[in-house]
């Protein structure tokens, strides 16, 4: 194989790349997002400098069903997102993510630095209840429930779909850490990206509850639930584009003369 051919490949392994080149289009992507108040010290501990918690003491727990994802396939994801600020700009920091499919796990970690681990999340309707679950190593670690389609947010008299699309297009930040072959960090960055080409197909709000169980390898309960604020349910088509480097820890350390 020629060098030029190697350099054109989208990912490893070279014999059968795990994922193709992006950007990546998602069709009928379905969200259950439960926003809750948590412990401010636990939030601060989970947020890497130079990001700052936004002061609301809130966390968003997400269950996301992705039945049609170009290059990635059909999978479900669950995780923790913390509202933050970076130099005065409102951003969301993705603290933990769990999913059940290899291509988006590998691509998410390698390209954008998503904190993805393999687990068994699910999102489905059970009777009158939108239900999200997360199982890790055979143990239930998260259970989220929401009354099914109680308040429509985009019908006449409801909230505007444009505002919801703007919310989904808020800057998202990940902490990307990749070791070198000697075990030291080769990459240590905050990576930022924005979802684009968002088409809201449905949006609802309703009463919700969230139960988190302590687990050493899926520590979602380290951000304890103090009070559930609300639940939201979205269905949308959208594009995940490539991102950019927001903050480079290694470059900053080199320029300041400190050790990584």
> Is 116 a catalytic site residue?
yes
Among 116, 117, 176, 194, the active-site one is 116
User: What is the residue-wise DSSP string for the chain?
Assistant: --HHHHHH--SS-TTS-SS-SS-EEEEEEEEEEEEEE--HHHHHHHSPTT-EE-SS-EEEEEEEEEEEETTTEEEEEEEEEEEEEETTEEEEEEEEEEES-HHHHHHIIIII---EEE-EEEEEEETTEEEEEEEETTEEEEEEEEETT-EESSSTTS--HHHHHHHHTS-EEEEEEEE-TTSSEEEEEEEEE--EEEEEEEEEEE-EEEEE---TTS-GGGS--SEEEEEEEEEEEEEE---EEEEEHHHHHHHHT---
Q: Catalytic residues, which ones?
A: 116
């Amino acid at each position: 194989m020629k060098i030029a051919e190697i350099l054109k490949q989208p990912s490893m392994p070279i014999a059968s790349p795990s994922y193709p080149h992006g950007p990546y289009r998602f069709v009928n992507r379905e969200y259950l997002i439960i926003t809750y108040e948590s412990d401010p010290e636990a939030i601060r501990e989970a947020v890497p400098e130079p990001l700052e918690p936004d002061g609301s003491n809130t966390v968003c727990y997400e269950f996301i069903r992705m039945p049609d994802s170009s290059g990635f396939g059909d999978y479900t994801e669950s995780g923790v997102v913390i509202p933050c600020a970076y130099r005065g700009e409102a951003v969301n920091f993705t603290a933990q993510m769990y999913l059940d499919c290899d291509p988006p796990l590998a691509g998410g970690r390698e390209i954008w630095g998503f904190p993805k681990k393999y687990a068994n999340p699910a999102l489905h309707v059970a009777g009158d209840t939108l239900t999200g679950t997360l199982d890790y190593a055979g143990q239930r670690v998260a259970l989220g429930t929401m009354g099914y389609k109680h308040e429509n947010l985009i019908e006449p008299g409801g909230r505007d779909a444009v505002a919801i699309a703007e919310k989904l297009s808020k800057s998202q930040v990940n902490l990307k850490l990749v070791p070198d072959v000697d075990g030291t960090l080769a990459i240590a960055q905050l990576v930022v990206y924005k979802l684009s080409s968002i088409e809201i197909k449905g949006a609802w709000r309703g009463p919700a509850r969230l139960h988190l169980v302590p687990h050493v390898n899926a520590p979602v309960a380290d951000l304890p639930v103090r009070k559930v604020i609300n639940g939201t349910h979205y269905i949308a088509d959208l594009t995940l584009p490539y991102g950019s480097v927001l903050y480079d820890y290694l470059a900053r350390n080199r320029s300041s003369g400190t050790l990584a």
